[in-house]
Amino acid sequence: MGALAWAWRRLARAVLLAGALLTGLAEPSAAVSITVILATTTSLQDSGLLDVLVPMFEKRTGLTVKTISVGTGQALALAARGEADVTLAHAPARERKYVDEGRLLRRRLVMYNDFVLIGPAEDPAAIRGLHQAVDAMRRIAVSRSRFVSRGDRSGTHTIEIALWQQAAIEPRGAWYIESGQGMGQTLAIADDRRAYTLTDRATWLAFRKRISLPILVEKDRPLLNLYSVLEVAPASGPRVNAAGGKAFADFMLSSEAQAAIKVFGEAQYGQPLFVPAAGKTDADL
């Protein structure tokens, strides 16, 4: 009987230990389930909009958002590798590529604004008031006027490269400066170097009191800046919180979020920084 009792005690301890291990393993999973990792752009972070929308989402759902703010190319790559649950980006061609590959899901427009070409008031390349951004880029290159590029595969950088290509120019030389930084830092460098640069209007408005680079070219169709939300496919990684990612994506298209987007910036900058676009397609714009 002593041997039998000892065997039962060993079995009971094993069961208790297994239960403790299972409980310990379950806890990280539960923690992940209430955390939503958002990969997004530095320009969107710099605008301040997420400081409004993220608390609204967290209050509404009880979920917690962890934001990773990098260039759009990096944000999309992180999401496609399953290192985020949802992404807000502004590089339509790259977004569609990842959707076609099945790594990201349900690309939906959230809002838009536009890019603008800014530069020193003295305007050495004489681009002020040109109707086509491509013509402005060509003049900047021909005059070898300083231009600061983000150089970081972001959505802004992608648009810039497309404009150079349309102008049949490969920018190189001392006049062409690659910052490798986010939009806010790039604006600061351009201001310091008295250089031209391409920026989204929202970040320029947010930084305009800190820099002295006016808008010189705007409202050309190629400068349209579309922001979309994309969910991460569960198959992209073992830790993807698909439910949390979908909840955030759906929230961005909700009437509550769209109403906040519609007025964001009016009080501080005298005009909204974004135009809500839930339910619209690229062709509608």
Domain ranges of the chain: 33-113+225-284, 119-223
Task: Report the pLDDT value the prediction gives residue 25, as an integer from 0 to 100.
Answer: 35
Q: For residues 164 and 141, give the distance between their C-alpha atoms in angstroms, rounded to a whole number.
A: 9
Q: What is the pLDDT of residue 23?
A: 37
Name the CATH superfamily, with its identifier, for domain 119-223.
Answer: Periplasmic binding protein-like II (3.40.190.10)
pLDDT attached to residue 153: 83
Helix boundaries (H) for the chain: 2-33, 42-47, 50-61, 72-80, 92-100, 133-143, 155-166, 183-193, 201-207, 242-252, 255-263, 266-269
Phi-psi region of 48 (alpha: psi -120 to 50; beta: other; left: phi over 0): left
Q: What is the pLDDT of residue 216?
A: 98
Asked whether the domain spanning 119-223 has the same topology as the one spanning 33-113+225-284, the reply is yes
**Tokens at residue 147, please?**
């231009």
| Structure token pair of residue 270 | 């005298």
What is the pTM assigned to this prediction? 0.80
Given the structure tokens 């005059």, which residue do they identify? 143
Single-letter residue type at 98: Y
Task: For residue 111, report the phi and psi dihedrals to the nearest 5 degrees.
Answer: -170, 175
Reduce the secondary structure of 250-277 to three states and give it as a string: HHHCCHHHHHHHHHCCHHHHCCCCCEEC
Q: What is the predicted pLDDT for the residue at 62?
A: 95
**Does residue 196 contact residue 145 with C-beta atoms inside 8 Å?**
yes
Domain 33-113+225-284 has CATH 3.40.190.10: yes
Give the tens place of pLDDT for each residue, 45-92: 888 999 999 999 999 999 999 999 998 899 999 999 999 999 999 999
pLDDT-flagged residues of the chain (< 70): 1-32
Residue with tokens 């992940």: 32
